[in-house]
Structure 1
Amino acid sequence: MSQTVDRALRILPLLAEGPANLEQVATRLDVHKSTALRLLRTLHEHGMVYRQDDQRYRLGARLFALAQEAMENLDVRGIAHPHLVALNELTGHTVHLAVYEEGEVVYIDKVESRYPVRMYSRIGRPVAITVAAVAKLLLADLPEAERRAVARTLEYPRYTARSTTDPAAHLAELARVREQGWASDLGGHEESINCVAAPIRGADGRVAAACSISAPNVVVSAEELLRLRPRVQHTAEAISREYSGRPSEGTR
């Protein structure tokens, strides 16, 4: 990266901390004021920074517009799919990707198990929101007031003896999921189906989606499936890095 570009990019996180004057920018960059002024003027011309009446600079509206546009155009499914395929090839089990939209948790991608016993889940269909592992992760990340409001409005079907049956139990489970950073559904929706899921986070740190592996007891026991949790978490972390634009450890 050229020195000029590097210096210009270093100005942006500086101004993210708050407005700064020319002298402060020059000091932080360890450059002459004339160099700092030239960089600030260029960024100002492109709307990346804005000069206030008090002669201090702050981040410009154009920068926020570009960030919003970039977020809107991110396709988490497109980014995640190769990782989901790799997880499926590694484990052999069904892999799902889900998001929270308009009060429902919906599957947006699925890679089928290599085993003859298949799951009936479908892309575009809502999941069992009170018991599904992916749903627990997505709801657990909601702000507390919203999380409690959602829990109160849900119905709690008793799919199996392990199903969550009331808002208090659901909120307690969501609190546990929020703390541990992963979720499971061990026969909560179907007696014979187990699932473990991990969160996919965006640049803001919030959970944008969740991925999971699922398998019936005739293929693998719940204990054996849970031993694959690190693999699921590793996949989710890899997707999160790519989705949020964070560099991998090896490129820092």
Structure 2
Amino acid sequence: MSQTVDRALSILPLLAEGPADLGQVADRLGVHKSTALRLLRTLHEHGLVYRQSDQRYRLGARLFALAQEAMENLDVREIAHPHLVRLNESCGHTVHLAVYEENEVLYIDKVESRYPVRMYSRIGKPVAITVAAVAKLLLADLPEHERRALAEKLDYPMYTSRSTPHPAAFLRELEKVREQGWATDLGGHEESINCVAAPVRGADGRVVAAMSVSAPNVVVTADELLTLLPLVRRTADAISSEYSGRTPVKDTPA
């Protein structure tokens, strides 16, 4: 990166701390005021910084617009898919990615297991919202008043004896998921299928998606599947880091 570009970009985190005058910018960059002024003028022309009436500079509205545009155009599925594939290669089980949209939790990606037994789930298909591990993670992240309002509106079909029976039980489960940061479905939708899930978070810490590993009892027991929780959480954290831009992309540990 050229020195000029490096200096210009160094101004942005400085102004993120609050408005600064020309002298403060020059001092932070370690340059003459004339150099700092040229950089600030260029950033001002592009709307990335704004000069206030008191002659101090702050971040410009264009910068926030660009950030919002970038976030809206991020495709969590595209970012997550290579990580899901590596997780599948490591454990051999079915891996899902899901999001919450318009009061439904939908699968947006799936990597099939390596064994002959296949799950009925399909990309684009809604999940069983009151029992699915990915749904619990996504709904647990909602503000409390939204969680309560949604819980009261949902139906609670008893798919199995382990299904969530009513709103109070569902809210207790969501609170547990919020506290521990992961979720399970141990025979709540199908007696023979178990699932463990972890959240994918954006730059603001909010849950933007949830990923899970699922397997039938004939392949692994629920206890055996739970031993994969650290790997599932590391995978979700790797996706979160790449999605939010917090750290350089690294391979997910096996």
TM-score by length of 1: 0.94
* Paired positions, count: 250
> Does the CA contact (< 8 Å) of 2:238 and 2:249 recur in 1?
no
Deviation at 1:82, TM superposition (A): 1.2
Q: 2:31 and 2:171 mapped to 1: Cα distance?
A: 53
Q: 2:58 and 2:172 mapped to 1: Cα distance?
A: 43
Within 5 Å, which residues of 2 pair with 1:29-178?
29-178=29-178
Deviation at 1:12, TM superposition (A): 1.3
Q: 2:7 and 2:57 mapped to 1: Cα distance?
A: 15
Q: 1:156 and 1:245 mapped to 2: Cα distance?
A: 38
Q: Match of 1:179, SS?
A: helix
* Pair 1:15-2:9 in alignment: no
Q: 2:27 and 2:167 mapped to 1: Cα distance?
A: 55
Deviation readout 1:212-246 (Å, 9 max, x if unpaired): 00001011000000000111111111111211122
Query: 1:242 aligns to what?
Result: 242
Query: 2:233 aligns to what?
Result: 233
Q: 2:147 and 2:11 mapped to 1: Cα distance?
A: 38
Deviation readout 1:161-198 (Å, 9 max, x if unpaired): 11112222212211111111111111111111100011
List alignment gaps of at least 5 residues for structure 2.
Answer: none
Compared with structure 1, are the counterparts of its residues 239 and 249 closer, same or farther at alpha carbon in structure 2 (3 Å cutoff)? closer
Compared with structure 1, are the counterparts of its residues 44 and 138 closer, same or farther at alpha carbon in structure 2 (3 Å cutoff)? same
Deviation at 1:136, TM superposition (A): 0.8
Aligned partner letter, 2:232: V
Deviation readout 1:53-100 (Å, 9 max, x if unpaired): 222211112111211221121111111111111111111100000000
Aligned partner letter, 2:44: H
Which range is displaced more, 102-111 or 199-208?
Answer: 199-208
Which range is displaced more, 27-36 or 155-164?
Answer: 27-36
Which range is displaced more, 175-184 or 144-153?
Answer: 144-153
Q: 1:146 and 1:18 mapped to 2: Cα distance?
A: 34
Compared with structure 1, are the counterparts of its residues 249 and 89 closer, same or farther at alpha carbon in structure 2 (3 Å cutoff)? closer
List alignment gaps of at least 5 residues for structure 1.
Answer: none
Which range is displaced more, 177-186 or 166-175?
Answer: 166-175
Counting aligned pairs with the same residue, the percent is 82
Which range is displaced more, 108-117 or 146-155?
Answer: 146-155
Compared with structure 1, are the counterparts of its residues 64 and 191 closer, same or farther at alpha carbon in structure 2 (3 Å cutoff)? same
TM-score by length of 2: 0.93
Q: Match of 1:214, SS?
A: strand
Aligned partner letter, 2:139: L
Deviation readout 1:42-61 (Å, 9 max, x if unpaired): 11011101112222211112
Deviation at 1:249, TM superposition (A): 8.4
Aligned partner letter, 1:186: L
> Does the CA contact (< 8 Å) of 2:242 and 2:249 recur in 1?
no
Deviation at 1:40, TM superposition (A): 1.1
> Does the CA contact (< 8 Å) of 2:182 and 2:199 recur in 1?
yes
Q: 2:176 and 2:35 mapped to 1: Cα distance?
A: 52
Query: 1:188 aligns to what?
Result: 188
Q: 2:22 and 2:152 mapped to 1: Cα distance?
A: 53
